[in-house]
Structure 1
Amino acid sequence: MLLLTDEAERGRRLAKQLGAAHSLWRGAFEPLPSDAGAPQAVVTDVAFDNEAAVHWLRRALRALKQRDVPVVCLLRTEDRREQVQAYALGATRVLPPGASDQDIIRAVRALQERSDTGLAGEALRSRIVEASASFDDMMSAGQNGEPPSLQTVTAHADVVLGAIKQDGVKAWLSALRSYNDVTYQHCLTVTGLAAAFATRLGFCARDRMRLTRAAALHDIGKSRIPLAILDKPGQLTPAEWTIMRSHPVIGYDLLARRDGFCPEELAVVRSHHEMLDGSGYPDGLSGREIGDLTRLLTICDIYAALITPRPYKDAMSATDAYELMVRMGPKLDADMLAEFRRIRDDVDFDPAA
């Protein structure tokens, strides 16, 4: 194992705990040691607000890029842009500030033991990084009270559609398991599922783009929800749920200010939590009041939420998640859900594993 760090004292402790065979200190700007060979894994612990440190890290990782060596990156802050930057540098897994030594060890071992090498493919890695960056731009615009540009959303959807076409939904979801940011992971999961669903249903290019863009935008309202609620590591209180449930209307109002988004896309953003039996929110719509694009996206959204782990719950297996949705009966479009079974079969791995 190779440890790359810019803090000597912290690095010595990590090296001891992790059993790292080699440690590099940024202060000396050392190249990879000649006897390092191809380490089984790399752990990076570098401050991203230091340009010299990031340059050194990029140079050190470049030599390992072609060897498919898993890289676990430890973040120093909660800044979401740091996670995007870490993946752009070549991280396979990113851990949040405060990750314990055991968390790091488990992450390294899990990556070493993975038989699925989809993320190691450079094309898919590049698409994940590009999609993450464009999604970050979309959320940053929302945080500033501005709707994302149509060009950014379309480019994001193009990347996801290309990844699904080239690598398949299984590889896409498998790659996203390394994300620790709940909102990013969920939205990119929903977008991948929607792109795969549209393709499976034989949608024309225009309708594939519409559904994929709508999926990318469906939770844009969460950009205006306080992070203390959005990233809370536990169940929300009733008052917090009231705030969280406001995100569809916030997102709709945000996008309605920008020309270019079609009515169907806006309807998805506002109504993706509506249920056919009228039990959803924010408007209590039912039956024919809910359009087809929204019905499709709601299935993808619920499925993604069920197969994705949260701090307060384990992920469901693909099979259990689908069966639970079947038991939701009149809340979901039964015909569309039956078609979605083909996507569930395509996943072909247990996302809870």
Structure 2
Amino acid sequence: MSDLQSLPTYTLPITDLQRVVQGALQQPIKAHPYSAQIMRQAPTAFLFLIDQSGSMDERTTYRGQSLSKAAAVAQIINQILLELVLRCQKGDEIRHYYDIALIGYGGFSDDKANLLWSGAMAGKTFLTPAELAGAAVRVDEIATERTIRGRVIRVMEKRPVWLNAVHRHRTPMKSAICLAESLVQQWLDTQAGKDVYPPTVINITDGVATDATTEELLACCNRLKSLHTVDGHVLLMNIHVSDEHGKTILFPYKASELGNDPYARLLYDMSSEMPASYHADIANLFGLDQRTTYVGMCSNADMDALVKFMNIGTPTQHNQSFTANLQTDS
């Protein structure tokens, strides 16, 4: 069994936090970024920001079922978390390749984002994969399809649940982005300038922030994206989920692709440009032309597009460029 410990809950004084941030910003980035090996001595971090506002109760279709957007997103996030745990499992050991944070906004407050770990892990910021494996709130049976000897059959599988479907209140997105900024700042301090793969922040929403102007939201996003390790800047990816009929915009390479859609332009400005190592996967997975630039955003996406988007943003079996960085150290 793993004897790895969780990251501490942070209570840095503001002066110390400011010192940490200034140190992180002054740290130079190497000539070939996004190439650090992910290993137990140098993990990376994932932060998932989940819109839990009242509009997430609107119906959508996922895996042939009609359910709320909140329920569909919860299923997808739970599957991603399971895949992260499985990727770290080597025999009986679950290795510390990642630190994982889960933030919700709306859901429990009109104006404040919340950490979403519960039970014994309530109040924790990041969990290691070993901690995550033991932190499920329950185990559900999920209907899924498998192809066996050329035939598609429907089977029931047991799946751990970390995130429950919640849809209440407004959309305090700025609060979630700023909380993510604080957690990333503190995580960078624990890495003490090591050559570690930079954190990835994925924001899943169905609407517009209710706690900030466009300028205030962009300022918070820009502060988050300015943070970096030696290996590169933090990656902030944003996806707008919707079942409305209209143009879906996936990983645009320039702003002119967005037409006159102001919300798509906001997501574009909020998001990071994706590293070159992701380009082939993006083009292949979404059937896009090969470009020299992709911005990590998606507008007007259905749940199938969300799954593909998450496969780009996290190291699943579909994302070979990222997992090449995962060192299977002994």
The TM-score normalised by the length of structure 2 is 0.28
**Greater fraction strand:** 2
**Greater fraction helix:** 1
The TM-score normalised by the length of structure 1 is 0.27
The structure with higher relative contact order (CA 8 Å, sep 6+) is: 2
Q: Which has the larger radius of gyration?
A: 1
